Structure 1
Amino acid sequence: MVPLPPFPRLAVDSTQTRWHPPPHGMVKINCDGATFRNQKKSGVGVVIQDDNSMVLVSMSKQLPQLYSALEVEAMAASTALSFASRLGFHWAILESDSLTLATTLRNNSTFLSLDGLLMEDIKFHATSFIQLRYSHVKREGNKVAHKLARHALYILDFSVWMEDVPPPLLPIVLEDIARFS
């Protein structure tokens, strides 16, 4: 197995409560996972925004089984990186509201479990980026990705919105943008 190259990373800041735009020339990829116990399903939400806070793309994906919180958060991160890379984004910040996930990625930790395999999948997708940083934000700062993950329950498989979000999420995006205008 070839060792992965080190990537510049942001320090994990667990006190950050609001969404902030990325530095000039980068995108911020916010991701989140959700579980739906009664339906025995999970969901992933991803939103990619530029340094002007504009939404470039967003997506919701339904997963046909129930996963643990860390598993679905890791799947959200892996899905987000794969999605962003395929769309041509290669300078990015991956932001999650999972402190465990953000810390694990920042420290390049390994697990000898299913979670470890999921972390390796994220690291694999990270190799597609020229620069990738990891960041933690509290749920309040990850509202759009959180709502997209919850929205996954109402779609059949996978939905993408180019330069947009589902209409019910627009006020949340506009609230974030208003802070930086």
Structure 2
Amino acid sequence: MANEAEERMTKTSTQQEQQHRWEPPKPGMIKINTDAAISNQSVRTGKGIIPRNWTGKLMKAKGIMERKKGTAMEEEALAVRAALVMAKAAGWMKIEVQSDCKSVVNQINASSVHDISIATVLEDIEELKEEFEECNFSFVYRTGNTCSHTLAQNAIKLVHDIEWNKEFQVWLMDIARKDMRAVAPFCN
């Protein structure tokens, strides 16, 4: 009995530690980190989408800017939906979408809506995930989601959306490396 309790505590501790840093997906999968940012002062929202493969290599990066007043829950859900749209367009069939918005992740995973303001977006996500061979959603603390968070913050200042496919800005690669600090010394 004591060994089982110790194993559960160790497993819980390991899971919590993993939620605090970026971890690579299993081989063959693409992990897509998402985040949203809101500027009430400039009435803008920004979203950051960062897909990486199992080696940590950046596959794409996208910053989305909109001139609107959004809520945190809505913008986080929209970022997840945008990640699914990106993955579908890229032809990726095995994905894990990771967000630092625990409520949105929980609602997606439970297939139930607690916040009616995002019901339509969650329905879209439910339909889109059926397009993939494997599609998982997970939570990570902001400390493990720095790259997409920084991109979302920068997206607020954009005039139009921006996307990188093969070559990435040095600052973005530096932040991606920092996200991976305990996983790999270098990506790309």
Q: TM-score category by the smaller chain?
A: 0.7 to 0.9
- 1:117 Cα deviation (Å)? 1.0
Unaligned runs of 5+ in 1: 1-12
Pairing partner for 1:98 from 76, 90, 101: 101
Q: Which residue of 2 aligns with 1:54?
A: 57
Q: What is the TM-score normalised by the length of structure 1?
A: 0.87
Aligned amino acid, residue 55 of structure 1 = L
Whose Rg is larger? 2
**Contact map agreement 1:43 1:152 (CA 8 A) in 2:** yes
What displacement does 1:111 show?
4.7
Structure 2 counterparts to residues 137-176 of structure 1, below 5 A: 137-176=140-179
Unpaired segments ≥5 residues, structure 2: 1-14
Q: Distance in 2 between matches of 1:19 and 1:146?
A: 13
Separation in structure 2 between the aligned mates of residue 38 and residue 166 of structure 1, nearest angstrom: 27
Structure 2 residue aligned with 1:7: none
1:26 paired residue number:
29
Matches within 5 A, 1:77-116: 77-111=80-114, 113-116=116-119
Which structure: greater helix fraction?
2
Map of 2:74 onto structure 1: 71
124-133 or 30-39: bigger deviation: 124-133
1:180 pairs with 2:186: no
Residue 120 (structure 1) aligns with: 123
Give, in angstroms, the shift of residue 178 of structure 1.
Answer: 4.4
Residue equivalent to 2:10: none
Structure 2 SS opposite 1:85: helix
- CA deviation string 1:127-176 (max 9, x = no partner): 22110011100000000110111111222221111134433222211223
Larger relative contact order (Cα-Cα within 8 Å, sequence gap ≥ 6): 1
Q: How much does 1:28 deviate? A: 0.1
In structure 2, what is the equivalent of residue 6 of structure 1?
Answer: none
- Paired residues of 2:48 and 2:150 also in contact (CA < 8 A): yes
Kindly provide the amino acid, as one letter, of the partner of residue 170 in structure 1.
M
1:39 to partner: Cα distance: 0.6
Question: Offset at 1:94?
Answer: 0.6
> What letter is aligned with 1:17?
H
> Residue type of the partner of 1:53?
G
Specify whether residues 25 and 150 from structure 1 end up closer, same or farther in structure 2 by C-alpha distance, changes over 3 A only.
Answer: same
Q: Distance in 2 between matches of 1:111 and 1:104?
A: 7
- The one-letter code matched in structure 1 to 2:145 is N
Structure 1 SS opposite 2:145: helix
**C-alpha offsets along residues 64-86 of structure 1, whole Å, 9 cap, x if unaligned?**
20100000001100111101110
